Amino acid sequence: MATGVQRATQLTVADLKGKVDPDWCPGCGDFGVLAAIQKALVELQIPNHNVVAISGIGCSSNLPGFINTYGMHTLHGRALAVATGVKLANHELTVLVTGGDGDGFGIGGNHFVHTMRRNVDLLYIVMDNQIYGLTTGQTSPTSRIGMKTKSMPFGNIEAPVNPISLALAAGATFVARGYSGDQKHLTELIKQGIEHKGFSFLDVFSPCVTYNHDNTYQWYRPRIKKLEDDSAFDASEWTMAMQKSLLWGEEIPIGKFFERTDVPSLHAAEPVLNEGPLLHLEPRVPADVAQGFIEELM
Amino acid sequence: MKQTFAVAIGGAAGQGVATPGDIFAKIFSRRGLSLNAYNAYQSIIRGGHTLLTIRTGPQPVTNMGDRIDLLIPLNQDTMDRHLKLLRSGAACIYNADTIKAGPAADGVQLCPLPVSELADITRNKVAQNTLAMGAGLHMMGIGFAALEEALREQFKKKGEAVVTENVGVARAGYDYAASRFTAFPSPLPKTEKRYAVLSGNTAMAMGGAAAGVKFYCAYPMSPSTGVLHWMAAHARKAGIMVRQVEDEIGVINMTIGAAHAGVRSMCATSGGGFALMSEGLGMSAMIETPVVVIDCQRAGPSTGVPTKTEQGDLWQMLGAAFGDYPRIIAAPLDIADCFKLIPEMFNLVDRFQCPGLVLCDLLLSEGRLGVDPKDLDFNTVIDRGEIILPLDGNGANGNGAGAAVATNGSYKRYKFTESGISPRAVPGVPGHIHTVATDEHMEDGVLISDEFTNPIKRRAMMEKRMRKVAGIEAAVPRPTLWGPREADVTLIGWGSTKGVIEEACEMLNEEGISASQLQIRWLVPLHGEAILGLLEGARHTIIVENNYSGQFARYLRSETSFVPDGNIRKYDGEPFMPHHIVQAVKEQLAGKTHLSVPMHEIMV
């Protein structure tokens, strides 16, 4: 994956332990997501100095501080824009973007749509708990109609966004949904998302045990059905993926909804990067080229 | 008084004002003449009224000046608006078939062209423009060969038939003028000088390329879009990644992302876009990732007057993003300086790891100036500061900074240092793994804001960042005073008003009023003490600026307690003309007022 100095020794989960322990509430779904990311990186053996974890703001956005890779804890909703800049400047880096549903689908909704249509080669993991946690429990863009929160105490009257359908419509080339209660399955999806050459979207049900009393582990467990168990389902079929994305209620599918590999990622489509990462290009404009720029003006 | 000549071409948008303008500019600059071009236009693609003024001369021409020597109205509206402003010695060339001249001042030569007799107007829709160019050049004393050469270049792509057609029409205008019109008394001379003619936007984009900018992104916004256009057109040759982004919030964050990964990154916008970027600037300061942001000011507030100039964003820039942080702000003084300032700003922001803001305006961004090609120096110094970059596949790195050193896990991104500058490793360097955060953090990047907030650590990190301010102050040159300290009047301006104030000073001196000029380029740091020193003993001080409230005057007072004797302000969307300043100075020296707001006589 990456050039530069390679690690002599095998990367282990211990190598990926961050400087501080996670500060999430006991039982938070985000623990499972962090562990799955660490396991996926170990299984793929990507040197941790070539990985950048980039987040916005929120409970789940604290994740870069809890993993021993390069990290950027940016602004609320802006992680995807920052990550696009990082990837375009050095496309040899593995870029992971993590955040929550408010960060990604609310304040960051514009960047979400445009990063998908650009097919930037990164994995975007949304820890979707259908609530604003760090601000102590308000309605989020994925909160269901009727859900009571501090900001909508008489129940939410706004329809939620469907992240999977939205991603499919916006042109994401890899779309999946995981559940933090199923580590093994989630780890597999993260590995696939990292290896996919293009934009990978992974929406993860990550229950908030403090503020969301509707979408709990108990609520999810009987409803979740793996797409892989449906032999009629084909993740290369966009319309089939779209149909599955609309399922909600007694049956909620998780797994890979869609993947296509025939669209070049943004950095691969840009001829300026033919000779390698932007970071390694000669900073100076060659003298004859510069002279040409001036002569155009004379 | 120096010899200058101004030609103004006016018409509705879409009538073809630009092409004759470009051709005149090319002919003047190839004669070794300095030139300045200003286009007054509106936010409309077809229709409305535009007036392009090109002023030229053998000595440096820095602004649009006060008088039009040759008016070429392409429609009746232009004739009606501008003929009455022409003074003795000026001329007006117009299409006699479609335009009627109104009353003109004594000594103004009316030059009607019988366009349908001189050209086949069914075949050539812009025949009146080409005929007028030919006639005008004859009257300026410029031989036909220069026009023929320029027309050949202009129409080359359209084939020989089009070239021949246009050269023929131009020749007809040239010959008609020779037989019917009186030439201007002083023909435009030739000099040995060579000029590159460019806009401030092109200059800033080229300055970025010279500085080693590798990533540029933008959302289109007048009057900054020219930077994007140059970057996009030259990206592949220059090796620059150029992206158009969904909004300016995305722009600043993408710029910061690329900068964080180790390349020089720049973006440009106008006031409205800059407002959207302000939270991002705070991030640049907090994570100490350097970026350069250009704001091409236009008349505000809000959508304002998108095609008109103003110096109205100073306080937005001084206050952009919440909290205290080191920032650098500079306003280029002219179009050549638009080029020169960008590499200087990058060297500073790379060294001090903070955002650098360039406060340009429409006057420079979209104006054009003949610049000595030597001033477009692509061999300028590139100083990346204390940056640690990953090696490329060959064990080298193109950016020329020091190779990574093994640190056994002891690397601290925000290490406390005397200068406040901490060596900056970028992602991909082994042994330097860290997380940067917009939350307040410790030396190793770990947050202090979420749990166990620690006032001692917060204070120490705040002071580390702010220590950089002293270094920035030492690195940025102090302003200088042009002209005598004890002058009758000292005019203080900032940024783009340099040229017009300079010319006003020359005019005042010629009238026996000695004038000096203090023009501020570095706004932050301001060097307030140095300014006070320069103004000590000044006999009469006046601050000149293109805004309503005296934004610079208020800033200078806040930093130094200095209050000038008077102010000259203009906020009608149009730039100052030299006589506006001269007249205002005279009325202020006569004690008539302390605040002059000159009236812009030209209705554009």
CB A150 within 8 A of CB A156: no
Query: pLDDT averaged over chain A?
Result: 96
Query: pLDDT averaged over chain B?
Result: 95
Task: Over range A270-296, report the average pLDDT.
Answer: 96
What length does chain B have? 604
The percent of residues above 90 in pLDDT, for chain B, comes to 91
Residue of B206, B252, B435 for testing the chain A interface, max A β-carbons within 10 Å = B435
CB B311 within 8 A of CB B299: no
The one-character DSSP state at A223 is T
The Cα-based distances of B597 to B65, B74, B491 in angstroms read: 18, 31, 15
The Cα-based distances of A244 to A167, A176, A190, A239 in angstroms read: 13, 11, 20, 9
Residue of A272, A273, A288 for testing the chain B interface, max B β-carbons within 10 Å = A272
Q: How many Å apart are CA A295 and CA B153, to the nearest integer?
A: 14
Q: How many Å apart are CA B211 and CA A106, to the nearest integer?
A: 37
And the tokens for A18?
């961050």
pLDDT 10s digits, B26-52:
999 999 999 999 999 888 888 899 999
Q: How many Å apart are CA B552 and CA B535, to the nearest integer?
A: 16
Task: Over range A31-60, report the average pLDDT.
Answer: 97
Which helix (H) or strand (E) segment is B49 a member of? strand B47-57
Evaluate if residue B321 carries a pLDDT over 50: yes
Query: What pLDDT band is residue B408 in, cutting at 50, 70 and 90?
Result: low
Q: How many Å apart are CA A213 and CA B303, to the nearest integer?
A: 46
Three-state secondary structure readout of A152-173: CCCCCCCCCCCHHHHHHHHCCC
Which helix (H) or strand (E) segment is B200 a member of? helix B200-211
What are the strands, taking DSSP E only, across B134-291? 196-199, 213-218, 241-244, 264-269
Query: What pLDDT band is residue B394 in, cutting at 50, 70 and 90?
Result: low
CB B114 within 8 A of CB B96: yes
Q: How many Å apart are CA B16 and CA B154, to the nearest integer?
A: 13
CB B318 within 8 A of CB B507: no
Pairing of strands B356-361, B292-297: parallel
CB B74 within 8 A of CB B127: no
For B:270-299, CB contacts with A below 8 A are 279-280, 283, 287
Nearest to B420 by CA among B445, B446, B389, B443: B443
CB atoms B253 and A71 under 8 Å: no
pLDDT 10s digits, B544-583:
999 999 999 999 999 999 999 999 999 999 999 999 999 9
CB B325 within 8 A of CB B286: yes
Which residue on chain B is closest to A117 by alpha carbon?
B246
Sequence-distant (6+) residues with CB within 8 A of A244 are: A227, A233, A253, A257
The one-character DSSP state at A105 is I
Sequence-distant (6+) residues with CB within 8 A of B459 are: none
CB atoms B261 and A90 under 8 Å: yes
And the tokens for B25?
């500019």
CB B210 within 8 A of CB B182: no
DSSP notation for B459-521: HHHHHHHHHHHHHHHHHSPPP-EES-TT-SEEEEEEGGGHHHHHHHHHHHHHTT--EEEEEE-
Q: Which residue has the tokens 């071409």?
A: B9
Residue of B254, B371, B447, B449 for testing the chain A interface, max A β-carbons within 10 Å = B254
Cβ neighbours, 10 Å, residue A275: 11
CA distance B261 to chain A (A): 5
In this structure, of A122-136, B115-129, B205-219, B409-423, the range with the lowest mean pLDDT score is B115-129
Query: What pLDDT band is residue B398 in, cutting at 50, 70 and 90?
Result: very low
For B:180-219, CB contacts with A below 8 A are 194-198, 202, 206, 209-210, 212, 214-215, 217
For A:50-89, CB contacts with B below 8 A are 50, 52-54, 57, 62, 64-65, 68-75, 78, 81-89
- B450 contacts on A by Cβ (under 8 Å): 23, 62
What are the strands, taking DSSP E only, across A74-215? 94-100, 122-128, 174-179, 199-205
CB atoms A114 and B238 under 8 Å: no
- In chain B, what are the domains? 5-180 (3.40.920.10), 204-375 (3.40.50.970), 386-455 (no CATH), 481-596 (3.40.50.920)
What length does chain A have? 298
- Cβ of residue B410 closer than 8 Å to a chain A Cβ: no
CB A49 within 8 A of CB B428: yes
Which helix (H) or strand (E) segment is B204 a member of? helix B200-211
Torsion, Cα B551 B554 B559 B565, to 10 degrees, reads 120
And the tokens for B185?
């008394």
CA distance B203 to chain A (A): 10
The Cα-based distances of A241 to A260, B500, B549, B575 in angstroms read: 12, 65, 59, 59
Strand partners, A200: A123, A174
Query: What pLDDT band is residue B404 in, cutting at 50, 70 and 90?
Result: very low
Among B196, B279, B389, the residue with its CB nearest the CB of A298 is B196
Residue of A49, A117, A289 for testing the chain B interface, max B β-carbons within 10 Å = A49
Question: Residue B130: is it exposed, middle or buried by C-beta count within 10 angstroms (0-12/13-18/19+)?
Answer: buried
CB atoms B392 and A3 under 8 Å: yes
And the tokens for B579?
């006589």
CA distance B247 to chain A (A): 9
Mapped onto helix, strand or coil, the DSSP state of residue B90 is coil
Nearest to A122 by CA among A84, A149, A74: A84
pLDDT score for B399: 44
User: Taking each helix axis from N to C terminus, what angle separates B160-180 and B144-155, rounded to the nearest 10 degrees?
Assistant: 150
φ, ψ of residue B290 to 5 degrees: the values are: -75, 135
CB A155 within 8 A of CB A148: yes
Strand partners, B27: none
Q: How many Å apart are CA B124 and CA B128, to the nearest integer?
A: 9
Which helix (H) or strand (E) segment is B40 a member of? strand B34-40
Residue of A7, A66, A74, A270 for testing the chain B interface, max B β-carbons within 10 Å = A74
Mapped onto helix, strand or coil, the DSSP state of residue B558 is helix
pLDDT score for A4: 45
Evaluate if residue A6 carries a pLDDT over 80: no
CB B504 within 8 A of CB B477: no
Edge-to-edge order in the sheet of strand B70-73: B109-113, B91-95, B70-73, B5-13, B47-57, B34-40, B368-371, B196-199
Which residue on chain A is closest to B442 by alpha carbon?
A19
Name the residue with higher pLDDT: B502 or B126: B502
- Cβ of residue B444 closer than 8 Å to a chain A Cβ: yes
Question: Residue B126: is it exposed, middle or buried by C-beta count within 10 angstroms (0-12/13-18/19+)?
Answer: middle
pLDDT score for B525: 98
- In chain A, what are the domains? 13-295 (3.40.50.970)
Which helix (H) or strand (E) segment is B238 a member of? helix B225-238
Q: How many Å apart are CA B351 and CA B264, to the nearest integer?
A: 12
And the tokens for B278?
């302000």
pLDDT 10s digits, A227-261:
999 999 999 999 999 999 999 999 999 999 999 99
Among B29, B217, B433, the residue with its CB nearest the CB of A49 is B433
pLDDT score for B116: 94
- Cβ of residue A142 closer than 8 Å to a chain B Cβ: no
Q: How many Å apart are CA B92 and CA B76, to the nearest integer?
A: 12
DSSP notation for B111-137: EEE-HHHHS-TTT-TTHHHHHHHHHHH
CB B490 within 8 A of CB B514: no
pLDDT score for A281: 95
Nearest to B308 by CA among B484, B572, B33, B550: B572
Handedness of CA A264, A266, A268, A274 (dihedral sign): positive
- B350 contacts on A by Cβ (under 8 Å): none
Q: For the whole prediction, is pTM greater than 0.95? A: yes
pLDDT score for A27: 97
